Structures are given as C-alpha cells and as structure tokens.
Amino acid sequence: MAFKSTLAPAAVALGMAMGSLGALPAAAQAEASGAEMIEQEQKLDAFIDAAMAVAEVRDAYLATLQDAESEDEQNQIIEAANTAILEAVEETPGITVDEYIAIGDAAAADPELNALLNERFAELHGED
C-alpha cells in the first residue's frame, strides 16, 4: 500500500482546512536540534498511523455510501463517516486533529515533506 494512494486521500478526507505546519518543512528541519528532530519524526509517525486509521474508516464507509438509495441517506452516511474519521484521528496517540490536518496540508504543498512521509511510511510498514 503506497502513501500516495492511501494516506493522501485519507488526509483529504478531513478537508485539510488548517494552515501548513511550519516546523516540519525541510528548511525548518535543517535548523532543528536533535530533540526537536526526534519530536518531529514522532509526529510524522503519528500522522502516518492516523492516516492509516482514516483510510480504513473511509474504505468501510465507501462501500455503504455506494449502496445508498437517496441523497438524504448519502448525507447521513457522510456525516457518520466524518464523525468516525475524527474519532480515528483523536484516538491515535501523539497527534491532534489540528496537527493531522496541518501535516497533511503541509505535505500537499511541500514535495520534500511528502517524500519524507513516503520514506517513513515505507520504514514503518516495510513497503516501498
């Protein structure tokens, strides 16, 4: 499972309404201390864990959404999915919903951060 096909849409599911996370782009990483780098890596790992949980929720609700017979039923399913997505992120240790959205937004705008997330995903999940 590749980051681009699974995690990026999961991040989009929350709308990425927040501003970018200034501490994570490459320029800031170059200036960070060792402790700050460890904290940033832990935050990225938490983002990946949350994005995987969001992808699972999204996939589960997508099948239900496709079977909806009316627009009202679709709206109810979407509302339930959004609630479940928020809960999945909130239940992920080491990250808040705002941080999740900010990292997703930053990764969408910063190819270096996106590449770093892809590398960390491969390290955590043993995939390329």
SS3 18: coil
Burial of 57 from C-beta contacts in 10 A (0-12 / 13-18 / 19+)? buried
The reply to whether 83 falls in a domain is yes
The reply to whether 15 falls in a domain is no
**pTM across the whole model:** 0.70
The reply to whether 71 falls in a domain is yes
Residue-wise pLDDT for 71-126, tens only, equals 999 999 999 999 999 999 999 999 999 999 999 999 999 999 999 998 988 888 77
The reply to whether 52 falls in a domain is yes
Structural domain tally of the chain? 1
